[in-house]
Structure 1
Amino acid sequence: MVELMLLAPEDRVETVSDALGFELGALSVSVEDADAGSGVEHPLFGEPGMPAPRGGWQRSVLRALFASEQEATEAATLLLAQDWAQGIHVQSLSQVADEDWVRLTQSQFAPVEITPTFWIVPSWHEAPAAAQKVIGLDPGLAFGTGTHPTTRMCLRWIARRAPAAAPGWTRVLDYGCGSGILAIGAALHGARDIDAVDIDPAAVESTRLNAAANGVVLNAGLPEAANGRYPLVLANILATPLKLLAPLLCGHVAPGGDLVLAGILERQADELKDAYAPWCALTVADNEDGWILMTGRMAQP
C-alpha cells in the first residue's frame, strides 16, 4: 500500500478530497492541519453531527492511500494537471507497512473507568479486578462507547445517584440512545421498565444487541415508542436539538422526577437554562474537557 501526501490551501481541500476519493481511486483520504503543534495552529471546533465552522485549515495535509505506487503516481500526475490545482504540492510518496488493522483498532480502546467500581470494557479485554459493575461494549456505528466526556458524565451521575434514587427509577427514558449505553448503565444500577429511543434505526438495533449482550431487558425503538411520564429522563444529544426538544422532554418527566442532559458545551449553559426555564431550573452537575452535564428536577404539582 502506498500513501500520497499533499499540501493544499483551505479553498482546495474539498475539491482535492473529492477528486482523490471519487475519481482517482484512493482507498481512503484523511485531512490534517499542516500547522498542528506550531504557533499558528488554528483548531476547528465543531459539534458531532453539525457542520464545522470552516471547510478546512489555512494549510491542510491530505493523506491518500492507494493499492500501488503506480496508481498513486498516476493520481498525483492527473491531479496536478488540473486547472484548479494551483497551490497544491506533493509532499511525499511512501510505502505503508501492512498492519493487522483489527488488532490495531482494538488496541486503541481500553477499559474506561466511570467510577472505581463501574467500568466499560470492550469484549477483548478482561474487566479490572475492582470492577463490580461492567458494561461490555465494543465500538460500533452508534454514538456512545464511554470514551466521550458526555457519556462518562451521564454514567457517573447514574452511578452516584443510584444508591439513594434507584428504587424510584420505576420507569426510565433514554432519549437519543445511540448505543444504548446510558439505558444499560441505568439497568445495571437498578432501574426498571426502560425505554431507549433514537431517530436512527441503526442505533435502535445497536441498543438491542448491546442490551442482550449485557443481560439487560429494555424496550428499544423509534422516538414514538416513548410514552407517558418517567421518574428519570436521560438525553445525551447536542445543545441545539436539546433546546428544540425542551417541551417534549420535560413533558416526559414525572413530577419530582430527574432530567439529565448532556452534549452541551460550557459556553452553552445559559442557552439551555433559558430554553428549559418554563418547565424546570437546570443546573450544571458535572464538567469535563469543556463539556457539561446539566440536571433539573420537575416540580411537584
Structure 2
Amino acid sequence: MFELSLMCPEDRVETLSDALEALDALSVSVEDADAQTDAERALFGEPGMPAPAGGWQRSRVLALFPAEAVADEAAQLLSAQDFFEGCRVLGIQAVPDQDWVRLTQSQFEPVEITPEFWIVPTWHEPPAAARQIIRLDPGLAFGTGTHPTTRMCLRWIARNPQPGQRVLDYGCGSGILAIGAARYGATEIDAVDIDPAAVESTVQNAEANGVTLNAGLPELAQGTYPLVLANILATPLKVLAPLLCAYVTRGGNLVLAGILERQADELKAAYAPYAKLDVADSEDGWILMTARV
C-alpha cells in the first residue's frame, strides 16, 4: 500500500477528505501537523458528540491507496481543483504490509473498574484478579468503558449492587451500564436510547455477555425503577430532569453522568424541584452525580 500525505488548513479538511474517498482511498485520516510542538491544539468533544472542529489549523491528511500510481493520480487530480488552494502535497510513501486487525486490537487493553471488575475485549484473557467481567469490543455506540463517565457509573454499580431490582439505563449507548447492573444482581432491566443503532448494539452486547434485558426506544420505559442510570450529557440531562426523576421509585437512586465539574451547579439547580443531587465521584474533570428521590 502507499500513503498520500497532504497539508491543508482546517476549513478544507472535510472537502479534501470527501474528495479522497471519492477517489477510492482505502482510508483517510487527519492529524495535527503541529503535534508534539508548542502549537499543538487539543481537539476533543464531550462523549457521544462530534469534535468541536473538523480539523486543526494546520492539518495533515493521510490517504491509503493500493498502488503508487493510484496515489500519484489522486494527487495530480486534487492539485488541479479550485478547492485545493492553500493545500499542498507532502509526498507519497510505501506503507509496509501489516495485520491491521491485530494492530488495532493491540490498542485496546482490559479496563479496570474496580480491582475485581473489568471490561475485557473479546480477544483478551481476563486479568487474574477479575471476579466480574463484561466482554465488550470497541464499536459505534458510546460506552466502551474507556471514558471516565462510563467507569464512574460502573464503579457506582459495583459498590451499590441491586439484587433482584428493576433498573432503567436511559441513553444506553452500547448497553454497558445495563450489563453492569445485571452482573451485580439486577433482574429486570430496561435499556433505552433514541438511536436505533445503539439499541441494536445493546442487544448484541447483552447476548455476547449472556445477559437478559429489554432494549428499545425511550417509550419502552414504563413504571418506576429503584435505580435509574443516565450517562448522556449535561444539556439533555437538564431537559430530562422531570422525566428521569418520575421514573425513580420513591426512595430509589438516580445516577447521572456525562457532566463536567464546572456544570455541577447547573445540574443541581435543574433537579432541585425533584431531587437533591450531590457529586458522588470525579475523574479527569468529569463528575458523577447521584440522588435519592
% identity of equivalent residues? 74
Pick the aligned partner of 1:237 from 192, 214, 232. 232
Pick the aligned partner of 1:200 from 195, 198, 203. 195
1:12 and 2:12 are equivalent in the alignment: yes
Pick the aligned partner of 2:207 from 202, 208, 212. 212
1:138-197 CA distances to partner (integer Å, 9 max, x unpaired)? 2223221111111111000111122xxx24x62110111122111111111111211111
Q: 3-state SS of the aligned residue for 2:230?
A: strand
Alignment of 1:215-294 (within 5 A): 215-294=210-289
The one-letter code sitting in structure 2 at the alignment partner of 1:211 is A
1:238-284 CA distances to partner (integer Å, 9 max, x unpaired)? 22221221121111011111111111222222222222122112122
Normalising by structure 2, what TM-score? 0.94
The one-letter code sitting in structure 1 at the alignment partner of 2:14 is E
Shift of 1:135: 1.2
Distance 1:30 1:268 in 2: 33
Distance 1:85 1:58 in 2: 15
Q: How many residues align?
A: 293
Distance 1:212 1:286 in 2: 30
1:97 and 2:96 are equivalent in the alignment: yes
Shift of 1:208: 2.0
1:56 and 2:51 are equivalent in the alignment: no
Shift of 1:108: 1.6
The 3 A distance-change label for structure 1 pair 114 and 52 is closer
The one-letter code sitting in structure 1 at the alignment partner of 2:205 is N
Distance 2:100 2:246 in 1: 46
Distance 1:217 1:25 in 2: 42
The one-letter code sitting in structure 2 at the alignment partner of 1:8 is C
Shift of 1:49: 4.1
Shift of 1:95: 0.9
Normalising by structure 1, what TM-score? 0.92
Shift of 1:128: 1.4
Distance 1:296 1:48 in 2: 22
